[in-house]
Amino acid sequence: MLVGVLSGAAAAQQPAAPAAPGTPPPATYMVQQGETLWSLAQRFLGDPLLWPEIYRLNTNVVEDPHWIYPGEELRFAPAETTVVVAGQPIMVTPQGDTVRAAPPQQQRPAQTPTIFSGTAASPLRQQQEAIELRSVRAYRAVREGEYFSAGFLTENQPLTVGRLLGTMRTSSVRRLSSSSSPQLFSDVAVQPPDGEQLARGDLLLVFRRAGEVRGYGEIIRPAGLLRVTQGAEAGQNVGAQVVSIYGQIADGQELLKTAPFALNTNARPVEVTDGVTGAVVGLRDQREFAGLQDVIYIDRGADDGVRLGDVFAISSVARIRGAIDDVEQDQARAIVVNTRSRTSSAIIIELYRPDIRAGSVARQVRRMPS
The per-residue pLDDT for range 4-41, each reduced to its tens digit, is 444 443 333 444 555 665 566 677 888 887 788 888 87
Which ranges of the chain have pLDDT less than 70? 1-25, 49, 78-139, 170-180, 319-325
Q: Strand (E) positions, the chain?
A: 3-4, 28-30, 67-68, 73-75, 152-153, 162-167, 187-191, 203-213, 217-230, 238-245, 254-258, 270-271, 277-283, 295-298, 311-318, 327-339, 344-351, 361-367
**What are the structural domains of the chain?**
1-82+121-137 (3.10.350.10), 146-258 (2.40.10), 265-367 (2.40.10.410)
Q: With beta carbons less than 8 A apart as the criterion, state whether 73 and 28 touch.
A: yes
pTM above 0.75, yes or no: no
The per-residue pLDDT for range 158-199, each reduced to its tens digit, is 999 999 999 987 555 555 555 567 889 999 999 999 888 899
Please give the pLDDT value at position 318.
74
Please spell the DSSP secondary structure of 85-102, one letter per residue: -TT-PPP----TT--PPP
